[in-house]
A = this chain, B = another copy of it.
């Protein structure tokens, strides 16, 4: 099977899922000179891209019919299954030689299933979840973790490079596995950050001074940099939704069970995040983890404006 040749002005690109992340990423590809057909369940969320010249399709299938390469970034694995493999999904419309690139953080097994289904139709598929959040998406500085055929990933470079830096991780599903390991690392780092802050507060330290004292030392992390000040300000607006992190950690735990891998830190972090869901805090950002530890301890960090 020949790899696709991707050229601005020639290759027709499709995009499914124009939320905060997707809209920014799609915009970068349009800026790189590619024509674009988009679809979103809530159609109004594609208005900005339409105003910039994107064609709005009525179904993922229609996007597939009008595109050579179709990207998707949606919420949950069930959404991925529907927009790619469903009756009105991308694959029902895509012509042989076309490529599907799913950037949703989703199940490695689903990525392999999509890859097989695409191959059976003479198409290709890549799983390419990202790390870096809305800020990374807007700045085109996402870390993209790609699984699939290496030559397909290489051929997509003009498109992927418009969104960030890509690392090829191996066969279909390995992009997802890389993202899972990434989330596992972040999960316990978040636990360490909020536990340190609660200890400092309970021990009578001034928490901002504590954070200043440790932030350039061995306890430093991207989580501390991104979230510790927001926590002090009680700013729980989502950079990354609790609901999505709970999904990611749940997939990771399922994969661990399948592989016979015991990761107690992951299990602990997941159970704490699930408790946020129980308190209807799924739509907050992941820094809301502090709320779970505050409830556990019947205490509350001071609010610093």
Given the contacts A214-B131, A261-B198, A192 and B185 also touching, CB distance less than 8 Å: yes
Identify which of A47-55, A78-86, A174-182 touches chain B: A174-182
Q: How far is the CA of A222 from the CA of B178 in the complex (A)?
A: 20
Distance to closest chain B CB from A291 (angstroms): 15
Distance to closest chain B CB from A177 (angstroms): 4
* Residue A303 interfacial (CB < 8 Å): no
Mask, A222-233, CB within 8 Å of B = 1, is 111010000000
Q: How far is the CA of A221 from the CA of B218 in the complex (A)?
A: 8
Instruction: State how many copies of this chain the complex holds.
Output: 2
Distance to closest chain B CB from A64 (angstroms): 29
- CB-CB < 8 A to A197: which residues of B? 181
Within 8 A of B (CB), among A189-221: 189, 191-193, 195-200, 202-206, 209-210, 212-214, 216-221
- Asked if A191 contacts B265 (CB within 8 A), the reply is yes
Q: How far is the CA of A182 from the CA of B108 in the complex (A)?
A: 36
* Residue A143 interfacial (CB < 8 Å): yes
Given the contacts A218-B132, A222-B220, A213 and B262 also touching, CB distance less than 8 Å: no
Q: How far is the CA of A256 from the CA of B299 in the complex (A)?
A: 13
Q: How far is the CA of A24 from the CA of B202 in the complex (A)?
A: 34
